[in-house]
Structure 1
């Protein structure tokens, strides 16, 4: 009977919305379904999700979408700084006769890679620092939070510039520098969440069962902090993109001939009056993707934030 009821949409919906789930899996799927329904009611959040999915799709299919080689140009005598045209180069060409559309498509891979790598590096560090500081308190909390305050005292781009200057230019060093500067906000959020959780009855019960502090943090506190941190990471992705573009613009991020959007704007600034398309289209790509991540983060905050009004 259960299999029959799940074979049609109405039965699946009833199973997901059951007030008495029969298993943990059913309960988790039911919560996820309710979250998706709340998220889908926000048109701006759906727009942000569409933009992010489009970025992922373009990054995955970049070799198929490129109309010209993104790293090599054509004839400098006849194809340099050509305006947008439906006949040959959809978004025009740059000063090296390279197709701007193909370079923007290829640059989507770099942008998505930077965002993912920074998130993978910075989020666990911030979670670890924040939960450890909030759980142990005292001297540990003071030391870790003062270290966090030092990082927060400097603008992110300025601090990233300092680290890249020390490590050397390059996309790998730019990722490391951005990740080093990105973790403090996550630590502050995780610490605040941990302070409200650590004296709860279920934490006391787990402690009485003999669980070690690190096991309590990893198995019970971190999962409860994840939703708030995920929302902040999503909202920060626009800032990560802008920081990476800023480093590329200054020549400290991806190095030529890589098609990084910030470096493309740096090249186009010399021709912004007469050949506006060289800088305008990479800038538009940064704007659209940053807006998409912001809209997606706002939608996730409305769904995942336990303090938000329902």
Structure 2
């Protein structure tokens, strides 16, 4: 055994120590064990690779795209997939591959902003309701129930109709309809830890309710929230594509996958690639988020088998 193998073994033993000497060692050890459980799941790794590919394609769109996503040539309109255009062209002669590549930026933009808006709102509402209880819990949960009573797409359509079409308005509408499930999860997690010994100890030490919720309750809800947000990304992509399909999301000439399917539905029988290619992109990315979410759930859930 050489020196590098010995060092790697010592590092693994340090991370897996049952008696960590510091808080940093405990955190690194938990992260290492979580990654080992996650990396042992082949489907989860496939999902991670799909999402990483989406991010890289979005970042390098200007390098990867062979043509302009908005400028076409009518002489090349509705060409089938071939050497010049790997995914064919649309009715305006624009390269579909280039539009899908640039459309990944729009998809990633929607995903990130919706997660940054909806997850904190749901986390705050759920933890406050679960910790405060009483009338605060009843009011916040009844508001949550009202939002949950409507299908997400229908509610998003109503908000976009009120705000007007556009990618920013679509993001706001999707975020408004996405936070209630996160609030439910955060409330359930809060109810399980609200009466625990360490929360009582913090209360006896004189910590304010705000500090208890922010520093001690919310961190306990993060892992469940991450899993739910990841699993919800596929639904968010489909809702965003649905709004784009109806002309209420990203507006032309912005290359958005839903609007690309809408423009190709007129040619679905003869020029199938115009609608099928962006549809495949939605399918693959949605599948990637579902596989990633399932893997995170298995890795982060302490009750999972084999841990």
* TM class by smaller structure: over 0.9
Per-residue deviation, 1:261: 0.2
What displacement does 1:22 show?
A: 2.1
**Structure 1, unaligned runs of 5 or more:** none
Q: What CA deviation, in whole Å up to 9, does each residue of 1:51-106 have, x standing for no partner?
A: 001101101111000100001112x1x200011112x1111100111000000000
Q: Does 1:155 align with 2:155?
A: no
Aligned to 2:82: 85
The aligned counterpart of 1:35 is: 34
1:22 matched to 2:21? The reply is: yes
TM-score scaled by length of structure 1: 0.96
Partner of 1:111: helix, strand, or coil?
helix
**What whole-Å deviation, never above 9, does each CA across 1:188-237 have from its counterpart, x for those lacking one?**
00000101111111111101111110110000000001100110000000
1:238 is aligned to: 234
Partner of 1:212: 208
Give distance in 2, aligned partners of 1:18 and 1:289. Answer: 38
Q: Distance in 2 between matches of 1:52 and 1:277?
A: 23
Q: Superposed, which structure 2 residues align to 1:113-262 within 5 Å?
A: 113-262=109-258
**CA drift at 1:5:** 8.5
Structure-2 residue corresponding to 1:294: 290
Task: Identify the residue that residue 60 of structure 2 maps to in structure 1.
Answer: 61
Q: How many Å separate the matches in 2 of 1:58 and 1:22?
A: 42
Give the distance between the partners of 2:5 and 2:142, measured in 1 at CA.
Answer: 53
Deviation at 1:21, TM superposition (A): 1.9
1:12 Cα offset (Å): 1.8
What is the total number of aligned residue pairs between the two structures? Answer: 304
1:280 corresponding residue in structure 2: 276
Over aligned residue pairs, what C-alpha RMSD do you find? Answer: 1.3
Unaligned runs of 5+ in 2: none
Counterparts of 2:207 and 2:302, CA distance in 1: 27
1:245-277 alpha-carbon deviations (Å, 9 max, x no partner): 000000000000000000000000000000000
Secondary structure in structure 2 of the residue aligned to 1:67: coil
Distance in 2 separating the partners of 1:305 and 1:163: 35
**1:31-66 residue CA offsets vs partner (Å, 9 max, x unmatched):** 111111111111111110110011011011110001
Determine if contact 1:5/1:11 at 8 Å carries over to the other structure.
no
- Name the CA shift for 1:17/1:6 in 2 (closer, same or farther; >3 Å): farther
**Greater than 4 Å deviation, 4+ residue runs:** 4-7
Normalized against structure 2, the TM-score is what?
Answer: 0.97
